[in-house]
Amino acid sequence: MEINVELMAKCGFYCGSCPTYIEGKCAGCLLQHKKGDCFTRDCVIEKPLNFCGECKDCPCDIIIERPRVTVLDKAWLEWKRRLK
């Protein structure tokens, strides 16, 4: 599978593998979201980074503790945090 970096969401999710995106029912969060819609998107743009995983603080307390901030699995985020 060829990765199109333009389909990499700010949270790290790859929209190119999402059935909703593939079926044409979603344009991806980069095109659809605006400031204030998504904490992760706003944070990454402010830093500026390409996606959350590039941040030295990833996963930060906000990503771990706030519901619906990321689509990433909470158990994976806790594991990633322990690796720091």
Tens of pLDDT, residue by residue over 30-82, are 777 778 888 888 999 899 998 888 899 989 988 888 877 777 788 888 888 89
81: which residues sit within 8 A by CB, 6+ positions away? 59, 64
Residues with Cβ < 8 Å from 9, sequence gap 6 or more? 15, 28, 29, 30, 41, 51, 71
Q: Is the pLDDT of residue 1 over 70?
A: no
Which pLDDT does position 47 carry in this prediction? 92
Under 8 Å between Cβ of 63 and 40 = yes
The Cα–Cα gap between 18 and 13 comes to 9
Beta bridge partners of 34: none
